[in-house]
Structure 1
Amino acid sequence: MKPVFSANHRWAMARGEESLILELRRRRHAEAGTFDHVPPPPAATFRFTKSR
């Protein structure tokens, strides 16, 4: 099972890196007062889960 968990970890970390880069771009543009188009972060992976 170790290869499955390792692959999942790499996938999750890559998605987190994408979101972090977008957030940093958004903050940089907000501080500079420019409102260039920065795409929204990726949607939730599992849309069928219920939030409590």
Structure 2
Amino acid sequence: MSKAVKRANGPGGGVHGGCVTATGTLEQIAGSPGSVTGRCLHEVLAPAGQPGGP
């Protein structure tokens, strides 16, 4: 595995990683509660003043 991939794993990566938890558009991934990436995307995509928004 390349160094770049190892560093990109983030929290829960490595031995705990490797599972696809969401697929689809950014909005669909943002709506996937089991996806760490989805939770981060939700914060970015949610309109200001909405729960999870900036």
The bucket for the TM-score relative to the shorter chain is under 0.3
* Structure of greater Rg: 1
Alignment TM-score, normalising by the size of structure 1: 0.27
Which structure's relative contact order is higher, taking Cα pairs within 8 Å and 6+ residues apart? 1
Higher helix proportion: 1
